[in-house]
Amino acid sequence: MKSTRVGIVGAGQLGRMLALAGYPLGVRCLFLDRGADTPGAQVAPSLIGDLENPVLLAELASRSDVVTFDWENISGAALEPLENITRVRPPRAALEVSQDRLAEKALFTRLKIPVAAHAAVESRAQLIQAAEKIGLPGVLKTRRLGYDGKGQYVLRAAADIDAAWQAIGGAGLIYEKFQEFSRELSLVGARSASGQTVFYPLSCNTHGGGILRYSIAPFANARLEQRARGYLKRVMTALDYIGVLTIEFFVVQGRLIANEMAPRVHNSGHWTIEGCVTSQFENHLRAVCDMPLGSTRALGHTAMINFLGVMPDRERLLAIDGLAYHDYGKAPRPGRKLGHCTILKRLPKERTKALSNALKLVEWA
Ligand SMILES: Nc1ncnc2c1ncn2[C@@H]1O[C@H](COP(=O)(O)OP(=O)(O)O)[C@@H](O)[C@H]1O
Ligand SMILES: [Mg+2]
């Protein structure tokens, strides 16, 4: 069988798991990233240099049947020339909209997907106005380049305005009403060029300090799942999407409020490696390489725990029945995603018990 060459911009853990999923399919990945010791470069060849270096991007494209991303913040201007060399998937428009929280919310709103009340903020005066109009508490966020809760400030009262402005004040911000959510859910799905779409079961996500700590899946709620699938499908269709796409939701009074989307494989979908017939990583490759998409059926009940800042005691975790361990090969740093584990069980109550045992062995730094 002919192998397919996939160029991946960014060689973090997402790229690494894509490359690993590619081997059994006969897909060979080539990365572009700044260092020689990235998680991706430990498992597949890598071009070394800046992610927006035009010469290296052109080389990546010319050596690939399709270019994709593990990092969605590459500029549209850097990407555009690649479209003359090879296929670029997901489409540039999807990356561009997801790079700007304001544009993302405008798209959701146009597609009749509910979002939190929000306003663009370009100055301290506009922040005061937004807090008055939308109300407190609220979250001030940078429109661009925020991740893992970085570039955000929660305002509890008007007295917090100064501190918020001190912390992240400037142009290009968004103020959102704070959502008193009962849960955070995410939906991961994939779409192929022919329009075939598949959806994973919902994942229920617990964050600390803006970073995902653990997820449980499938989260069984047929009504919310159907809603979420409808929303994700609308976005996929509007963007003529190819690849894996994720939407994060808040559940507020039983309703889904879309928070943000990611035009790539997602941390809350890591459980699909062991927990589903076809993982999100494999389905992303299948989608961008024009292969039929695989079954997203869950094999049982899972919990996924992120390793943040410090790696846990591997041997003790591995002693838990049904646990799979993932080390991304990164140097420890506070708040950094270093690895994760997934526990797969037959019954929800077995999963919940194993999760609580595993959580005793994991500390987040
Ligand atoms: N408007 C909001 N109301 C309540 N919590 C929020 C709000 N915005 C963000 N958060 C919390 O912060 C987390 C990270 O924010 P998010 O917008 O997803 O940014 P990112 O994941 O890109 O850092 C969310 O998962 C949620 O827990
Ligand atoms: Mg998020």
250 by DSSP, 3-state: which? strand
Which ligand 1 atom is at minimum distance from the Cα of 178? 3
- Residue 259 CA: which ligand is closest? 1
CA dist 240 and 91 (Å) reads 8
- Residue 178 Cβ contacting ligand 1 at under 6 Å: yes
- Give ∠ CA 216-295-211 in degrees, rounded to 5: 30
Q: What is the pLDDT along the chain (365 residues), one digit of tens a residue?
A: 566 999 999 999 999 999 999 999 999 999 999 999 999 999 999 999 999 999 999 999 999 999 999 999 999 999 999 999 999 999 999 999 999 999 999 999 999 999 999 999 999 999 999 999 999 999 999 999 999 999 999 999 999 999 999 999 999 999 999 999 999 999 999 999 999 999 999 999 999 999 999 999 999 999 999 999 999 999 999 999 999 999 999 999 999 999 999 999 999 999 999 999 999 999 999 999 999 999 999 999 999 999 999 999 999 999 999 999 999 999 999 999 999 999 999 999 999 999 999 999 999 99
Pocket test for ligand 1, best of 102, 152, 206 (most atoms within 8 A of CB): 152
| Ligand 2 center–CA 260 separation, angstroms | 6
Q: In angstroms, rounded to a whole number, what is the distance separating the alpha carbons of residues 77 and 107?
A: 21
Closest residue by CA, ligand 1 atom 24? 210
Specify the residue with its C-alpha closest to ligand 1, atom 1: 178
260 CA to centre of ligand 1 in angstroms:
8
- The contacts of residue 193 (CB under 8 Å, 6+ apart) are 242, 287, 290
Which residues, at least 6 apart from 173, have a Cβ–Cβ distance to it below 8 Å? Answer: 120, 121, 122, 127, 140, 141, 142, 143
Pocket test for ligand 1, best of 139, 143, 182 (most atoms within 8 A of CB): 139
Residue 177 CA, ligand 1 centroid: distance in Å: 11
247 lines ligand 1 (CB under 6 A): no
- C-beta separation of 292 from 142 below 8 A: no
Give me the amino acid identity at 199: F
Order of strands across the sheet that contains 46-48: 46-48, 27-33, 4-9, 66-69, 87-88
Q: Whose CA is nearest to atom 25 of ligand 1?
A: 210
- Do residues 247 and 258 make contact, with C-beta atoms less than 8 angstroms apart? yes
Looking from the CA of residue 181, the nearest atom of ligand 1 is: 4
- DSSP percent split of the chain into helix, strand, coil, nearest 5: 35, 30, 35
- Reference 356, options 196, 225, 206, 177; nearest CA is 206
Instruction: Give burial (CB, 10 Å; 0-12/13-18/19+) of 287.
Output: buried
Q: Partners of 197 in the beta sheet?
A: 191
> What's the pLDDT score for residue 2?
63
Read off the pTM.
0.97
Cβ count within 10 A of residue 314: 14
- 112 residue type, one letter: K
Residue 293 DSSP symbol: P
Is 108 in contact with 94 (CB distance < 8 Å)? Answer: no
Cα distance between residue 353 and residue 331, in whole Å: 31
359: enclosing H helix or E strand: helix 348-359
Per-residue pLDDT, 269: 98
CA of 101 to the centre of ligand 1 (A): 11
How wide is the angle at C-alpha 23 spanned by C-alphas 21 and 25, nearest 5°?
85
Q: Is 65 in the pocket of ligand 1 (CB under 6 A)?
A: no
- Cα distance between residue 216 and residue 268, in whole Å: 9
Ligand 2 centre distance from Cα of residue 25 (Å) = 30
